[in-house]
Amino acid sequence: MYLTPEEEKLMNGYSGPTYQKAIEILAALGDIYGADRLIPIKSAQIAGVSYKTIGDAGLEWISDLKGKVVVPSILNPAGMDLECWKEMGISRDFAQKQREIIKAYEALGVRTECSCTPYNIYDDLANFGDHVAWSESSAISYANSVIGARTNREGGPSALSAALIGKTPNYGFHLDENRHPVILIEVEPKLYDSDYGALGYIVGEMIGDKVPIFNLNSIPTKDDLKSLGAAMAASGSVALYHVRGITPEAGKFELPVEKITIQEKQLKEVYKSGEPDLIAFGCPHSSIGELEKLARLLEGKKVKKEVWICTSRAIKNRYPGLIRQIEKSGAKVFCDTCMVVSPASEKFKCMMVNSGKAHKYVPNLCGGKSILASTEDCIRAAHR
């Protein structure tokens, strides 16, 4: 892969070992995937934040880095609410380690809002056609598909390296030829609410990492698209999808010959019944629209089960009245984290979620049973 004279200097250690290691990681990726050069990025979103997932080895690696990011960079969810960790049942030792991770990133100049929906916090991180280096699977999907920005599925180290250098290797979804759909998904039923997550759950398992284009019978909101993409990224490894008449690049392409038809009975098979001991929302983090819907459903009621709603701290701070309204019901609103990456959810045996992504991850990452249900059915279960 071609390196500019300035990049060669970084490779030779002129700016110190942190930048040298960062460009070595990027150059290695570029060589593996056949990139011709490094290209500038507008922003980075960095995974590898929860102490539950990176442990002491990850903390040590981040703490040893000395430098500053050169593009706007934001973190993925941590393993706890950074302020209300005691209310989650997090141990003091875990909390201390988690705070050290956040401080290490902060020392590198990374914004310490911990969220998988950075596009709901900042408008300027990614716009149509921008090259970015994002690493959370649902955020990658949203950036590529809904915004029309361009990112590969970055790992935590490669996203951080890109943030430090301000560039990423030019391959994969940064190139026009890799963004065209290869399979058409015909969806027969009309979709509502968690049906988009159920659809993504099914399609991801069926197509793996292919790029699909959907022909829907419904008009999705941006939150619906978020749920669809998040589930496909979890059950498969779909990083880019198109929806005819909806997403910004869908009209550029001819429809693929290969086709899958999704019927209503397939969606219904994803939904299960059961008796949860935790009902959790916010995977990916709840938007203002989703919080408003939950507030309406909870109004004048008291929950009888543990209910968690995860969102970004920025959203929580912008709408304190709405948060108070939700918490009046006994539901708990947590920030900076989610039920999947926090050890706090491991004490529950059965979790009910309205998210196809969470439905996929909970059994493996939290050790309990998962039930997928609509938002309304989740709230009904909270009052049983």
The pLDDT tens digits for 336-351 are 999 999 999 999 999 9
User: What pLDDT does residue 109 have?
Assistant: 98
Overall average pLDDT of the 298-322 stretch: 97
Q: CA 335 to CA 316: how far, in whole Å?
A: 8
Could you tell me the pTM of the whole model? Answer: 0.97
Overall average pLDDT of the 163-176 stretch: 99
Cα dihedral sign for 237, 239, 242, 243?
positive
Tell me whether the CATH fold assigned to 5-176 matches the one assigned to 278-382.
yes
Which residues on neighbouring strands pair with residue 371, listed in sequence order? 352
What band does 273 get if pLDDT is binned at 50, 70 and 90?
Answer: confident
Is the pLDDT assigned to residue 274 strictly greater than 90?
Answer: no
**Per CATH, domain 5-176 is 3.30.499:** yes
User: What pLDDT does residue 190 have?
Assistant: 98
User: What pLDDT does residue 188 have?
Assistant: 98
Is the pLDDT assigned to residue 272 strictly greater than 90?
Answer: no
At 275, which amino acid appears?
E
The pLDDT tens digits for 183-212 are 999 999 999 999 999 999 999 999 999 999
The conformational region for residue 3 under phi > 0 = left, psi -120 to 50 = alpha, else beta, is beta
Q: CA 188 to CA 374: how far, in whole Å?
A: 19
Instruction: Round to the nearest angstrom and report the end-to-end CA distance of the chain.
Output: 60
Q: CA 210 to CA 228: how far, in whole Å?
A: 15
Q: CA 212 to CA 242: how far, in whole Å?
A: 6
User: What pLDDT does residue 311 have?
Assistant: 98
At 12, which amino acid appears?
N
Overall average pLDDT of the 55-80 stretch: 98
168, 41 contact by CB (below 8 A): yes
Classify domain 180-270 by CATH number: 3.40.1060.10
Tell me what percent of the residues of the chain surpass a pLDDT of 70: 100
User: What pLDDT does residue 28 have?
Assistant: 98
Q: Residue 133's closest CA among 159, 96, 171?
A: 159
Tell me the residue ranges of DSSP E strands in 157-316: 167-169, 183-187, 212-215, 242-243, 259-262, 278-286, 306-311
3-class DSSP state for residue 319?
coil
| Top-tier CATH class for 278-382 | alpha beta
Domain boundaries, the chain: 5-176, 180-270, 278-382
Q: CA 230 to CA 178: how far, in whole Å?
A: 20
Overall average pLDDT of the 70-97 stretch: 98
